[in-house]
Amino acid sequence: MFPERLRVLRRGQGLTLKALANGLNKLDPDNEHPNTSAQIGNWERGIRVPSFMEVRKIAEFFDVTMDYLAGKSERDEYDLGRLFLSGKELSFNKSPLTSEDRYELYQLIDGYLHGKERRTVTQPKNQQESLDLHLDGRE
């Protein structure tokens, strides 16, 4: 599973083996054994297996989990709590979120989910409330 996922991630971003090796080397500039295109090619063909540290760098580079690379989870699973508390740059509608924004959003979502159980529903269960976000710019 790892070789296929690595190949798909690399090709999906239009990276050559050499470009990926360079990107991984930038994540760990003090590494005594820099990554090479041949090494990554061997990983993709299943000839060699990367070390734990190498898999961790690959996961960080592609912004996926190690479980995803190992085939234990799908890529579309994200934990918003961990994402908000991570050091990753986040934005909403192309506006960057400050650390204060992230904390406030985390608190809002956490409060919403904890309060959800205590709220009473005022409409019948077979009807769904609509939410108009005015995303098209019209009122």
> Smallest Cα–Cα separation from 41: which of 50, 32, 30, 33?
50
CA atoms within 13 A on the CB side of 86: 11
Domains of the chain: 2-70 (1.10.260.40), 80-116 (no CATH)
Contacts for 105 with CB less than 8 Å, ≥ 6 apart = 84, 97
Instruction: Encode the chain (139 residues) as per-residue pLDDT tens digits.
Output: 899 999 999 999 999 999 999 999 999 888 888 999 999 999 999 999 999 999 999 999 998 889 889 888 665 556 777 777 777 788 888 889 888 888 888 889 888 888 877 766 555 556 555 666 666 555 4
Instruction: Please provide the DSSP assignment of 79-133 as one string.
Output: -HHHHHHSSS--EETTEEPPHHHHHHHHHHHHHHHHHHTTPPP-S-TT-------
Question: What is the H or E stretch that residue 24 is in?
Answer: helix 17-27
Q: What is the CA radius of gyration of the chain?
A: 21
User: How far is the C-alpha of 137 from the C-alpha of 16, rounded, in Å?
Assistant: 41
